[in-house]
Structure 1
Amino acid sequence: MIIRHTSMGDLDQMVRIEEVSYPSAEGASRESICKRIQTFSDCFWVLEDNGKIVAFINGMSTNERDLTDEMYDHAEKHDPNGLWQMIFSVVTDPQYRGNGYATKVMEKLLQDCHERGKKGVVLTCKEKLLPFYTRFGFMNEGVSQSTHGNVTWYQMRYTF
């Protein structure tokens, strides 16, 4: 297994994993994932096993402190020199869940972001995932202003 950044050749696999992992109102569209890859492929961390993507995390860099809904579909908001790494998706192919793959990818993302000089990492999650992110050192900042997918999200922040 390797963890690497993405390329356009990964698009079909990532779209499939996103589609089976999130309700349509919450998951990224093929077009959105494609624009993200074109704009910030180095902000995708992909865990690959024998040529197959089993888990990935993606997001963008910005100087904004909070993750906003408009960031999801506006790749042009990415600032490669931004101090904050936003996370849009932390996802594992359903048939590979429970093996610690998302943990491995998150640990690599945090290491890379620290080495890149980021101030920290921000994500939003549902209440049931708060303990997962807290394990890494993310702090719960409470209910997010996000209305993405018409669900309640909590903003989590990891500061270096």
Structure 2
Amino acid sequence: MITIRTATLQDLDAVSAVEAACFPPAEAASKDEFYERLTYYANHFWLLFEGDTLISFVDGMVTDETDLTDDMYARAAMHDEQGAWQMIFGVNTIPSHRQKGYAGRLIQVAIDDARRQGRRGLVLTCKDRLIHYYSGFGFIDEGVSSKSVHGGAVWHQMRLTF
């Protein structure tokens, strides 16, 4: 049985484990960073469970800043619940459950929530190979980000404006 809900601090270990399974160490958020994020904006973590097992999650803060910057990853206190833009920091699905549409379901929930909350839209960064995937949800590629070099990677900033 698949269930989707927002997070609580009790999800810290599960979220940290899924992140570690999905990203290389240079790009993965630490357990301490997730603790901070869950403290400030657990309601902006969308979790998908199969039974009691966390399979996939999407997370990110809300801000009036128009661009996603590296300092947002480490400074959860920058979250502004009244902000105009829903940032997406991570789209994670454990490798054994990929290609089943789970991440897409969560991205759509995040989009629907942002629209319902009156945001201007959503912003994310992704690697070149994922531009086409996010375009399918209506995100527009704004080119290589000059404000995010997270983990030493090249990131494209993408925006979905309502």
**TM-score category, normalised to shorter length:** over 0.9
1:152 matched to 2:154:
yes
Instruction: Supply the AA of the counterpart residue of 2:114.
Output: C
Distance 1:27 1:40 in 2: 18
Partner of 1:38 in structure 2? 39
**Deviations, residues 53-76 of structure 1 (Å, cap 9, x unaligned):** 110000000000000000001001
Instruction: Extract unaligned runs of 5+ from structure 2.
Output: none
Distance (whole Å) between structure 1 residues aligned to residue 35 and residue 4 of structure 2: 20
**What does residue range 1-160 of structure 1 map to in structure 2 within 5 Å?**
1-145=2-146, 146-160=148-162
- Quick check: 113-122 or 6-15, which moved more? 6-15
- TM-score norm. by structure 2 comes to 0.97
Mapped partners of 1:118, 1:97: distance in 2: 29
Q: Distance in 1 between matches of 2:41 and 2:81?
A: 8
Q: Describe the superposition over 1:2-23 as per-residue Cα deviations: whole angstroms up to 9, x where unpaired.
A: 2110011111111111111111
- The amino acid across from 2:26 in the alignment is A
One-letter code aligned to 2:157: Q
Taking the aligned partners of 2:47 and 2:66, their CA distance within structure 1 comes to 25
- Residues of 1 paired with 2:26 and 2:13: CA distance? 19
Runs of 4+ in structure 1 off by over 2 angstroms are none
Distance 2:97 2:49 in 1: 11
Q: Secondary structure at the match of 1:112?
A: helix
- The code of the aligned residue for 1:149 comes to G
Structure 1 unaligned segments of length 5 or more: list them: none
In 2, Cα distance between equivalents of 1:115 and 1:155: 23
The RMSD of aligned alpha carbons is: 0.6
Inter-partner Cα distance in structure 2 for 1:4 and 1:21: 20
SS of residue paired to 2:16: helix
Secondary structure of the residue aligned to 1:142 is strand
Three-state SS of the structure 1 residue aligned to 2:125 is: strand
Cα distance in 2 for residues equivalent to 1:20 and 1:102:
15
CA distance in 2, matches of 1:124, 1:91: 13
